[in-house]
Structures are given as C-alpha cells and as structure tokens.
Amino acid sequence: MSDVITFLTGASLQIEAVAVVNTMAESHSLPGTRSDTSIYYSATYPTAPANLAMAASTLISVTLSWDPPSDTGGMPVLGYKVLMDDALGGPMVEEYSGTALTFQKVGLATGYTYRAEVLAFTAKGEGTAAVLDVAPCNEPGAVGNLRVLQRSGTLVQLGWDPPTETGACPILGYIILAGTSVPTMVKVGSTTSVLSTTFNYVPATSDMALVFRVLADNFKTQVSTSFTGAGSDISVIAAAAPAAPTNLARTGGSHSTVALSWTAPTDDGGSPITKYYVMRNDGWGPRTLMFAILAVALLHHAPLSLSDFADLAGQDACSCTQQVRALLWCLALAAPQLSD
C-alpha cells in the first residue's frame, strides 16, 4: 500500500512511524505494530562544485579552490568535503570538511600527481564530486634555443628546445605569444606535448616586425600569476631573404675601372629592396665588401676604380690594377632581419 504526502520544496518531513493494526488491535485499542522512524526531504542532491582548480602550489603543497554548485538541490549547502589519494593508486581519503572555498594540502611529494575530489553536502546528503589531478611543483625555466626555422611574408615557423629546468613537474606543452612589441604580446597558439617544439604563425601582413615568446607549460604555470617566461623572446621580420639579382654584366670601364649593371630580383622575399652590396674577390683571398649602393630606379653604377674599391675596404690598392682580375658579385639585401 502507499500514500502521497505533499510538502514545500526544501522542507523536511519526519515520519515518526507507520503503524499497522487489524480488527483485534482496534477492538482492544492496541497501538499496533510500528515501522522505523524516517526523515524525508523535498530536495535533490547538490551538483558538483564549480570551477575546481589548483590555485597555487609549491614543491610540497597544493592549494585548491572552487565555487558553490550551480544547483544546490533545493536546500542550503552546509559545507564541502575534500578527498585526495596518495598518488600511488591508493584509496581516496577525506582531508577536509568545512565551509571554506579553498583548501591547502601540505606534505606532498614533489612531481607526483594526486587525484583530488571536492563535493558539497546539504541536509539531504552529499552531492556529485568535482575531480582534478594536481601536482606540487615550481615554474619551469625558459625554453632553449628559440629560433626561426622558416619565414616569409606569409609564414613564420618557430622552433625551440625544452627547458632544462622543468620545475620538478612534467612539461604539458608550450604557449606561444606574439605582438609588435613586448607590451602588446598576446597568446596566439599552444602545443600539447613536451615534444611539440615547433609552431607556425601566419602574420597579418608581410614585412611585419614581430616579437615572439614561448612559455613552457606545467601544472604551476597554469595557475601562476607571476610567470612571464621572460628570457625566451625573439624578434622577427615576416619576410624571407630576396632572390639574387639577375643579368649581372660588365657594361664598360677601362684598364683600372669597371662598370656594372644588373636586374632587380624577381622575388623580394616580401620586404622592399633597400640596397645592393657589391663585393669582389681578387683571386688571392676571400671576397670582401667594396660598395653598398642604395636601391634606386637605375640598377647600375658609374665606373668604379679598383683603387676606390681598395680604399673603401680600408686596404692598399692592388698591385695588379693594370689588369681587371677582380671577380665581382652583386647581392641584394632586404631590410635587416632582426633575428639573424
């Protein structure tokens, strides 16, 4: 048999007992046989606490924080319980019971990962637990050998080495920041493994000066407000080196001079050509820079004296000025690459 008793949400009802009688018991005014006493609540169990996170850590401690559950089940939350394991697969043990929204556990082993559970409870009972894996550790060091693997007007590919100092915690991946200056840097991407040490960035425009920073990510950096990753910055121009000039030719000169002409490169690498460098090799040593010519519409230069070349190089004139022994190169140079 059953019956329905209706009462307000969040209210409690205590049923002292349900007694059963028969004709004999009633005729003799006997109380009958009574059931156990029970308390019933017009409520459900609370949902899991919201936003469970590791708020701080050291090499031997972690601090957890959380927010009240979004649904209390119709009754006030009386408090919270925190349970943790031993990082070795052991059972969950209650570490805290109270009304605070934070809890610090000390005496942990550095670098081990612990399972933490936080649940809310009401008069109705305990709700669903929020779960988080945490590890006590410090911030990692800067990544090593941050460098440009490839660049053009449409792509900058970065590469780096994992930090030598991990903070006694596993490296979870890397965060990449970019901007036109250090104060303007924002997160532009991330990787999800210690072995993922390259990143492709597409610049908004070519010939763009950018600053990149790569941060190693571990449990501590995810909650640290002081970790900036300074020391792992690199400045890059979003452009490639230009192609070589073409059609280099001698167009005149005398026994002691030579006139040159050339055609502009077909590919400027995404950055305007600013000047040309003229270099020579006298056949007796390495090539040396003789002249730097600003890029102008006329892609040639008036006859240049070999002695002028020598003067520009800070050397004495060659003893062979009566013969044009010099082998000359013309190299196009784009705007300086700040990361070179």
- Of residues 284 and 277, more confidence is placed in 277
User: Tokens 């019956």 correspond to what residue?
Assistant: 3
Q: Which of 198, 187, 196 is nearest to 229 (CA)?
A: 187
Distance CA 169, CA 85 (A): 18
Q: Which amino acid is at 312?
A: L
- Of residues 287 and 160, more confidence is placed in 160
Distance CA 118, CA 171 (A): 26
Q: Which of 121, 64, 114, 65 is nearest to 92 (CA)?
A: 114
In this structure, the strands spanning 173-179 and 186-191 are antiparallel
Provide the 8-state DSSP code for 126: B
Lowest-confidence region among 66-75, 80-89, 210-219, 298-307: 298-307
Tokens for 71? Answer: 């649904």
Q: Reply yes or no on whether the pLDDT at 303 is more than 90.
A: no
On whether the CB atoms of residues 54 and 223 are closer than 8 A, the answer is yes
pLDDT at position 316, please? 33
On whether the CB atoms of residues 60 and 48 are closer than 8 A, the answer is no
Q: What is the pLDDT of residues 312-330, one digit of tens each?
A: 333 333 332 323 333 344 4
On whether the CB atoms of residues 81 and 95 are closer than 8 A, the answer is no
The kind and range of the H/E element at 306 are helix 306-312
* pTM of model > 0.75: no
pLDDT at position 150, please? 94
Q: What is the mean pLDDT of residues 267-276?
A: 81
Q: Which of 151, 152, 149 is nearest to 161 (CA)?
A: 149
Q: What is the mean pLDDT of residues 283-308?
A: 50
